[in-house]
Amino acid sequence: MILRSTALALTLLIAPPAPAAETRIDVAMSNFKFTPDTIRMKAGQAYVLHLTSTGGHSFGAATFFAAAKIAPADRAKISKGKIEVGAGQPVDIHLTAPAAGSYPVRCTHFLHASFGMTGKIVVS
């Protein structure tokens, strides 16, 4: 029993559980689209959403951000369900994907969504 406990302790010392690897997802914003416009995630998996823009756009995904687990350090980057992304000012959001579903994404800037600047996050 003592030997078994020692062996277990040694195993834990030698191989501490690795933190869940984050998958990076790049989303580029431009006039007037998200690339890709369908973002795919697996429920419960860790991601870094890397947002870039060639102009002033927002990544509006209120239902997604409300449902996902957002890293505390990144919560302040989200305001009223959206993230403003300026040209040359990338934003990273570390998060854990929520339950399966399709969550709408849109740029909230005036008329941008009607010009086609919409997308979705599909969690499976």
Q: Summarize as ranges the residues that interact with Cu ion (CB under 5 A).
A: 57, 107, 109, 112, 117
Smaller CB separation from Cu ion, 70 or 107: 107
Smaller CB separation from Cu ion, 58 or 65: 58
Closest distance of CB 82 from Cu ion, Å: 11
Closest distance of CB 50 from Cu ion, Å: 17
Give the integer Cα–Cα distance in Å for 75 and 103: 18
Closest distance of CB 118 from Cu ion, Å: 10
Closest distance of CB 83 from Cu ion, Å: 12
Which of the 8 DSSP states describes residue 112? T
Smaller CB separation from Cu ion, 50 or 109: 109
For residues 78-116, one letter each, b for 16 or more C-beta atoms within 10 angstroms of the residue's C-beta and e for the rest, the string is: beeebbbbeeeeebebbbbbbeeeebebbbbbeebbeee
Smaller CB separation from Cu ion, 55 or 101: 55
Residues forming beta bridges with residue 28, ordered by sequence position: 35, 52
